[in-house]
Structure 1
Amino acid sequence: MASRTAFVYQDQLTFEDAFTYFKRLMHDAENRVIFSRALQEARKGLSVSLHVMDIDSLVMQYLHDKRGRVVGRRILGAFEIKYKARNTVRGSELLVNGKQFENLQWFAKVTGLDVYYIVNVGNEEFYIFNVKHVNPQLEWRGKGQSYDNYAVLRKDELIRARKDELGSILKLLLFGGGRV
């Protein structure tokens, strides 16, 4: 098995497992481009404005009866998972894509789901927040190719964690009813 599940649960993976996994990721990226181009083709000649985005992870809980049979499911939360190099996060601010943030905030509102960002900064620290509970400033920033609309968040208003703390924070967010 060369899936993300294998990376999580197997103690040792072969080179072939890793290669197959990354090859699938490349095919997934190619499929996203094909889909986006097909959407562009579909809207030709129409006055339709689209924004395409994905959610990285949708966490669901299986609900069991007394005999252990699955009798339902419930969605615990949705996650947008980002990586930022250490040198791109400076001072008291954390920047995420503004348009994506606005759309995820809207999605959370209309669905009633909790939508969280987990921003990995240089594999050293993580910032976690629920889009329902933050009010960033939306600003155009950057130069050249990095000029874009950003949601500017104050780091002191977000959960900051080390990698070894993520499990306990997710436990609180998903099962503890904590408002974060």
Structure 2
Amino acid sequence: MLLPTPLPANSIQLGQLLLDPLDPTHTSISDKARHHSSGVVAVDAEKVAHISLQEPRVPFDDLRKDPAVQSFLREATEHGRNAYYITGIHTLKNPNRSHTRRDSLDIENNESDLILSIELRRVKCLISPRDEPHSYDDLDFFWTYHAIDGQHDSQLSIGLGMQDLSDMEAGRLRLF
């Protein structure tokens, strides 16, 4: 998924959980200002690099066992927020960006690497009775089940999407 604005290379990392993939450094649900664009961005770089997790499920399985991560996902679910897992990053080395506008031409020289796009998988979290079956929509996820402290009848189910979001699915995120 192409980011609306390139980010510093150290701002996000593989295996990170996000609530807002369009602005990985910010967790707001909606920021309408970022969708206004007054021009075109052209990027030239010495090198483009792509890194990705070969088996995203393996590090995610370790991540979702962490009580802090379970709490984070549970809270996001209780607030109706979606979560995403970064499985790939495209970076630019020593990029130069030109912003072309009707009234001016600005060129920025950046000596550091920038993240141009990310690959994501959906993360789904459910809080439900232990004997409640999954819905049809849950079939595209790898699931693990975790006890909830103090609740013997309920469980926390955490699912990782089986595939990265397609360009079409990522494009739908831009509509909100």
What TM-score does the superposition give when structure 2 sets the normalisation length?
Answer: 0.33
Return the structure number with greater helix share.
1
Query: Of the two structures, which has the highest relative contact order with CA contacts closer than 8 Å and spacing of 6 or more?
Result: 2
Return the structure number with greater strand share.
2
